[in-house]
Amino acid sequence: MQLRYAYRLAPTPGQQIALARAFGCARVVFNDGLRARHEAREAGLPYLSDGELSKRVITDAKKTPERAWLGEVSAVALQQALADLNTACRNFFASLRGKRKGPKMAPPRFRSRKDNRQTIRFTKNARFAITPGGKLRLPKIGDVAVRWSRTLPAEPSSVTVVKDAAGRYFASFVVQVGEESLPPVEAEAGIDLGLGHFAVLSDGRKIDSPRFLRRAEKKLKRLQRALSRKQPGSNNRDKARLAVARQHAKVTDARREFHHQLSTKLIRDNQAIYVEDLAVKGLARTRLAKSVHDAGWSSFVAMLEYKARLYGRTFHRIDRWFPSSKQCSVCGTNAESMPLNVRFWTCPCGAVHDRDVNAAKNILAAGRAERLNASHTSGRDGARRPGGGQIRPPHQGGKPVEAGSHRGAA
């Protein structure tokens, strides 16, 4: 299993200039390659192969006065920039043909020196190395100081140097690690993600939402107002932009740390984790968009998924249209409607439910059913899936009546 380990870099002023040169050369090669393919398409010429493109925008370009300075940086960084372009083109064409899963891919765009992130990548043939003194040796850049927060578990296969919008430098190593199983436990958890509470577990525990962005809004508003008053193109405007970017970086870092700590704890304490397949993109287009982005559900669920695989746990997403909130976790009866303002409700069977805890219990039951291929109803069509495993207490005889749900009902 491949994982990324990121560490903060502390380049000297001279190394920052060398890195800026490398970022710029990689960006120029990427843009030259994209422009060459656009021009070939407009002229009705065949699609430029990867090898022909590399020869044209790197090998031959270095021999011209206009691009002679490409020789001042590592050739591997330039080749990797072109590899990124080739991958973007292949993904775009595969998406057009319907051969690529997921949302439609946009065509690759030209890179700008004003982009929020500037990156270069070095593979093994670039001969980057970690020196005995703990520095990162990069070709034609030098030995860059690294703030090691932990040791690398294995020798890295590549390293990506990143400069973010806040002006910080990072080294991201790709490392091949083996899966290590944690001691088995009996507990399993269904997780209902929300905004009032970040997560509600099927055992009734509720984890408060830190709301990092909301808490930083007051300071961000002040910094944004200061930025809006600065003259475009001035040094003071650059300083104000950096101040805003640094504040956003603090929010992002705090959210990521919260996600890591919570996901690790849940994986260690539970043998299986079940979550809903949330339509985050759809929710991000509603009036709740800021709160949805502040919660960061997608990154949290992605952490749960890869950590479950890494530590030998089970992770499963239940059907997006499963009516977790309006279905009684005791008898299985579906309520006709369940508006968001209803936080507690009583089922005709007499059970009184906390909306979120009930949803988490239903997610746990549905996740077990889907995982064990048990008989249950799920999806907008309400179809009954094959199987026969028990998913609810045997003394309850109620059956789900309708598995469909309205958008936003959960």
Domain that holds residue 127: 2-176
Do 309 and 324 fall within a single domain?
no
Do 218 and 323 fall within a single domain?
no
Q: Please state, in angstroms and rounded to a whole number, the distance separating the CA atoms of residues 175 and 177.
A: 6
pLDDT at 11: 97
Do 76 and 12 fall within a single domain?
yes
Q: Tell me the pTM.
A: 0.84
Do 361 and 302 fall within a single domain?
no
| Active-site residue (options: 294, 319, 356, 370) | 356
User: Known catalytic residue: 276?
Assistant: yes
In a domain, 291, yes or no: yes
Burial of 345 (0-12, 13-18, 19+ CB in 10 A): middle
Do 150 and 41 fall within a single domain?
yes
Do 39 and 56 fall within a single domain?
yes
Do 288 and 379 fall within a single domain?
no
pLDDT at 410: 36
Among 296, 317, 338, where does a domain finish? 317
CB 201 within 8 A of CB 189: yes
Structure tokens at 92: 């775009």
DSSP sequence for 111-153: --TTSS-EEEEEEGGGT-EE-TTSPEEETTTEEEEEE-SS--S
User: Known catalytic residue: 203?
Assistant: no
Among 294, 317, 340, where does a domain finish? 317
Do 95 and 30 fall within a single domain?
yes
Do 109 and 241 fall within a single domain?
no
DSSP assigned state of 57: I
In a domain, 182, yes or no: no
pLDDT at 352: 87
| Active-site residue (options: 32, 84, 188, 192) | 192
Do 25 and 172 fall within a single domain?
yes
Residue 4 region by backbone torsions, left for phi larger than 0, else alpha for psi between -120 and 50, else beta: beta
pLDDT at 95: 94
**Cα dist. 168→116, 171, 198, 249 in Å?**
11, 10, 29, 10
Mean pLDDT by 10 residues, the chain (410 residues): 95 97 97 96 94 96 95 96 96 93 90 94 94 96 96 94 96 92 92 92 93 95 97 94 96 96 96 90 88 93 95 91 87 84 85 89 90 53 41 36 37
Do 354 and 296 fall within a single domain?
no
Long-range contacts of 297-301 (CB under 8 A, 24+ apart): 297/193, 299/255, 299/256, 299/259, 300/193, 300/259, 300/262, 300/263, 301/193, 301/275
Residues sharing a CB contact under 8 Å with residue 176, sequence separation 6 or more, in sequence order = 1, 2, 154, 157
Q: What string of H, E and C letters represents the secondary structure of 308-363?
A: HHHCCCEEEEECCCCCCCCECCCCCCECCCCCCCCCEEECCCCCEEEHHHHHHHHH
In a domain, 347, yes or no: yes
In a domain, 409, yes or no: no
Burial of 248 (0-12, 13-18, 19+ CB in 10 A): middle
Do 195 and 280 fall within a single domain?
yes
- Work out how many domains the chain is built from and give that number: 3
Residue 145 region by backbone torsions, left for phi larger than 0, else alpha for psi between -120 and 50, else beta: beta
Please state the φ and ψ torsions of residue 187, each to the nearest 5 degrees: -70, 145
Among 267, 287, 317, where does a domain finish? 317
Comparing CA positions, the residue from 302, 305, 304, 297 lying closest to residue 264 is 304
pLDDT at 385: 43
In a domain, 181, yes or no: no
User: Known catalytic residue: 356?
Assistant: yes
In a domain, 391, yes or no: no
Largest CA distance in the chain: 83
pLDDT at 277: 87
In a domain, 39, yes or no: yes
Comparing CA positions, the residue from 256, 255, 259 lying closest to residue 211 is 255
pLDDT at 103: 81
| Active-site residue (options: 32, 276, 294, 319) | 276
